[in-house]
Copies of this chain bind each other. A is one copy, B any other.
């Protein structure tokens, strides 16, 4: 019982694993099954190998997560220092949001890694560079970076955790929640839900841009 795999070792001779291959398999797995789906055993299975083999290329599951996050940072377009800083920040924010939409599991992980990889460092350096080029002092650039990223990650965190994706779904979900709610206990919540059930035009993209513009307009480079 159980076939012996003859071919694999004689003919194909699978190329040796590498850290990058492990990380890539982990990302594919996470995109399909979420962060919880990323087990050492599942990564190994996807690579046609036993779980223990992975430890020749990564030091632990945490190490895999570090690699995954750095890989997502690598997908984000770096802001240019040559253009208007507000435009550069807007483009970068859109690129981060798009990357996190492709990799939902990453939102809560991006800022939590204690060992930033090269793509992460390059990203942070480029953001600071764009702000410095726009006339910000070091302290003000850090301040602006913090405010923008707080808004950016906080918004996407909320956006991705809600159980709908478009305006139409939003209306349906709102209607469902409103029905279940004891109406007089939460009058303001009920008011919002009925309003958006009637007129389901809530759009995440424009809501995001609105808040971001508000923040970018409130920020100003130091005067010389």
The residues of A with any CB-CB pair to B shorter than 8 Å are: 108, 111-112, 114, 121-122, 124-126, 128-129, 132, 138-139, 141-143, 146-147, 149-155, 157-158, 161, 163, 181, 185-189, 191-192, 195, 202, 207, 210-211, 214-215, 217-219
Contacts and interface: CB of A to CB of B under 8 A. Distances in A.
A153 B111 CA distance: 12
B158 A149 contact: yes
A150 B155 contact: yes
Taking the full assembly, how many copies of this chain does it contain?
2
Q: Is the contact region of chain A dominated by helix, strand, or loop, or is it mixed?
A: helix
Given A138-B195, A150-B211, A207-B146, A125 B158 contact: no
B153 A189 contact: no
A147 B114 CA distance: 28
A207 B144 CA distance: 10
